[in-house]
A and B are shown apart, each in its own frame.
Chain A
Amino acid sequence: MKADIRVALVGNPNTGKSTLFNTLTGLNQKIGNFPGVTVDKKTGVCTLPDGRTAEIIDLPGTYSLYPKSQDESIVFSVLADKANTHTPDLVVVIIDATNLKRNLLLYSQVADLKIPVIVALNMIDLSKKAGITIDIDLFAKKLGVPVIPISARKVEGIDKLKAAIGFANKIALQEPSIDVEAIAPQLIAQISEELKLDNPYFALQLAHQHETVKFLTPQQSDRIEELEKEFSFHSQKAQGAETIARYSFINDLLYDTVKIPETAKDETVSNKIDKVLTHRVFGLFIFLGILLFMFQSIFSWSAYPMEKIGDLFAWAQNSLHQVLPAGPLTGLVVDGVLGGLSGVMVFIPQIAILFAFISILEDTGYMSRVTFMMDKLMRKVGLNGKSVVPLIGGFACAVPSIMSTRTIENWKDRMITIMVTPLVTCSARLPIYVLLIGLVVPNRNFWWVFNLQGLALTGMYIFSLISAVVVAFAFKLILKGRERGYFIMELPVYRMPRWNNVAYSMYDRSKAFVLQAGKVIIAVSVILWVLASYGPGDRFAKIEQKYKQPQYAQKLKPDDLTRAINSEKLENSYAGALGHFIEPAIRPLGFDWKIGIALITSFAAREVFVGTMATIYSVDGNAEKIESVQKKMGSAKNPETGKPVFSLAVAFSLMMFYAFAMQCASTVAVVYRETKNWRWPAIQFAYMTVLAYAASLLAYNLLK
């Protein structure tokens, strides 16, 4: 459906922009990509009071049209590129009424691009409460645009805003703010003339951003560069002069229209909270406490739904097997595709809960305090305060966490964060650790409170954080920074989380995860299924023949017989052949060919390990039953020595391997997507594999 008008939503971060977007569009949302960049493009449809429809585009929050991060650079491109398919007819600038001065900077820049503008004055209720009086009529008259006071949170004024969108002019009527030409008169005149532009501010922005915008031809960009040299244009000086001029315009405007009391009331409440939450001593402890609570909840709350999802897929697979005729196609669909899908779906509860927490922490304003508290520590190892969010997210899944590094403005900090995030113990590693620890670590308490198994698991989590920090430090020494790092960040006023946004975020992220990771995992499970289901030559036929002989058919129960056949088939399949092939390489780590198969099958996704072990040790088809796999693995004996295969040394060597190895195709894909260069995923894959091998070798030889 084509909407009647296209509206872009622009505003500073923390102004309630996403709340307004959710309120305007409801569930009619779509997440796509802006062409050529990896910035999420959120669009939705809103029905106006006159029955027409408006397509709303939610642009990333930014403080100005001069971008500081990848996400922000899209704002100017979308607003300025007239030839593009998503160029808006109208811009709604959302302004936080409790923080007018800084918010108006972006407004005045957008207004000068001469696109029709409406101002949505959000949080008008909070601003009234704080004692701020705004003469809205005068304000609107001075700006020359409609100003609609709203409260996106309380859904007040939304109808008026919709009506204003419906009545909006086709031409821009806003009053001029500053004398743009005065900043670089000759350059602006020359660019305007050569590119046939009628807007001086657009010409000035092109002078600043010609290297990053996509809609200029290389010739045009080179020509602008030439002109800049000719007129000795200095980008930063010009930007500084512009900012000073704009704030002077804003000060004049606010002087006539707004009365602000000496200290805002909301501020002091926020200050009181900050005194506790960022306290010198308690601050860090409270953060640790919140983290602990978060993980406890992610694991305990997700256990039940995860089990149910596993059961559901097992049930679906069983029923389909009964309904569909046996054959390769059924096997591919039911075991390959559905099996792979279940491996993805089972993580949805954990991801949804993790993102609920992250969105609550961000919404309340606490996350920026975490960034504030951790910056010094993180900086020492080459990271940034903002790296904390992806690293925490890495405990659930590296894929969305790597996507969330876009908020890190500094290139080097962002790359290092991307490189080390997959080291953090993600939820796919958890079942492997649980399985192996249960196998070799006694379930015993000491000093009454500490459980040995729990301690070993906690140890693996802490170990992963330490290794991420050490590797980050190494990258800090190797990588050369392109620009200086800085940390100039707003600490928003504490607010109650908006539960709607939390729900949207859970839904969005889970959907993104399923689509991102799902494609890869399904593709890989199909390949693995083929590798594990077919063998070279006539080996499979021979196995079938062998078990048809009376000594097997009579002695074994039908179930056991099927398992024995499956187990032997796996050994003789292509996957089994590969396992035997890599055995010499993994022998020093204490692994045999069976573990080799599991390593190969879980190369694309770690969670496949348990399922493969179940097949190899010929357990019932249901891989969810960890205890039964554990039992079989525990009783497995090395045919040469007669000792158990899974000794303490082997189990820990295997855990070290899984801790470091990049066994996740989705992560490789997302790192490529975010860095747009195959070099980064390649480097990451290489260093992680080397570390995995070395750590395994070390662990095996120390514990042997």
Chain B
Amino acid sequence: MTLSELVPGEIGIVKEFTDLEMSVKLMEMGCLPGESVTVSRVAPLGDPIAINVSGYQLSLRKFEASTIILQ
């Protein structure tokens, strides 16, 4: 299951990434394996999404969220 499949309010734990380039950027922003992520909202047009991770809010596109595999 990937992060892009969660609906607002749902929580997941990051397991691994499918894309190396994206993973480097996501990890820098505190989105690491083992961290819990909550989808907080979806943009009015359906993309991007906003998630809560490491104590702050991060926005990313659905495609980017789909590279994050959850436990």
Chain B contacts with A in 7-56, Cβ cutoff 8 A: 20-30, 32-33, 40-41, 43-48, 50, 52, 54-56
Contact flags A483-519 to B (C-beta < 8 A → 1, else 0)? 0101111111100000000000000000000000000
**Which of A199-207, A240-248, A448-456, A573-581 is the contact stretch?**
A240-248
Interface centre among B25, B26, B28, B61 (most CB of A within 10 A): B28
* Residues of A contacting B6 in the complex (Cβ-Cβ under 8 angstroms): none
Q: Is A281's CB within 8 Å of the partner chain B?
A: yes
* Residues of B contacting A637 in the complex (Cβ-Cβ under 8 angstroms): none
* Residues of A contacting B50 in the complex (Cβ-Cβ under 8 angstroms): 274, 278, 372, 491
Q: How many residues of B contact A (CB 8 A)?
A: 32
Q: Is B69's CB within 8 Å of the partner chain A?
A: no
B16 to A: closest C-beta gap in Å = 11
Among candidates B29, B33, B41, B43, residue contacting A376 with C-beta atoms closer than 8 Å:
B43
Q: Is A225's CB within 8 Å of the partner chain B?
A: no
* Residues of B contacting A284 in the complex (Cβ-Cβ under 8 angstroms): 44
Given contacts A280-B44, A376-B47, are A491 and B23 in contact (CB under 8 A)?
Answer: no
**Which of A60-68, A216-224, A335-343, A678-686 is the contact stretch?**
A60-68
* Residues of B contacting A237 in the complex (Cβ-Cβ under 8 angstroms): 20
Instruction: Contact check, B58 vs A274: say whether CB atoms are below 8 A apart.
Output: no
A625 to B: closest C-beta gap in Å = 46
Q: Is B71's CB within 8 Å of the partner chain A?
A: no
Instruction: Contact check, B24 vs A243: say whether CB atoms are below 8 A apart.
Output: yes
Q: Is A643's CB within 8 Å of the partner chain B?
A: no
A99 to B43: give the CA distance in the assembly, Å: 24
Instruction: Contact check, B64 vs A488: say whether CB atoms are below 8 A apart.
Output: yes
* Residues of B contacting A373 in the complex (Cβ-Cβ under 8 angstroms): 43-45
Among candidates B22, B30, B44, B52, residue contacting A102 with C-beta atoms closer than 8 Å:
B30
Instruction: Contact check, B64 vs A486: say whether CB atoms are below 8 A apart.
Output: yes
Chain A contacts with B in 93-121, Cβ cutoff 8 A: 98-102, 105
A68 to B20: give the CA distance in the assembly, Å: 15
B39 to A: closest C-beta gap in Å = 13
Instruction: Contact check, A99 vs B56: say whether CB atoms are below 8 A apart.
Output: yes
Among candidates B40, B41, B45, B58, residue contacting A488 with C-beta atoms closer than 8 Å:
B58
Contact flags A53-72 to B (C-beta < 8 A → 1, else 0)? 00000000001101010000
Given contacts A64-B28, A102-B29, A271-B40, are A487 and B46 in contact (CB under 8 A)?
Answer: no
Instruction: Contact check, A260 vs B58: say whether CB atoms are below 8 A apart.
Output: no
Q: Is A236's CB within 8 Å of the partner chain B?
A: yes
Q: Given A66-B24, A102-B30, A247-B30, list of 18 further CB < 8 A pairs? A: A63-B28, A64-B28, A99-B55, A101-B30, A102-B56, A237-B20, A244-B27, A247-B27, A274-B50, A281-B44, A283-B44, A376-B47, A486-B22, A487-B61, A488-B58, A488-B64, A489-B59, A490-B57
13 A-B pairs in the complex with CB atoms less than 8 angstroms apart: A101-B55, A102-B29, A105-B28, A236-B20, A236-B24, A240-B24, A243-B24, A376-B45, A486-B60, A487-B60, A488-B64, A490-B29, A490-B59
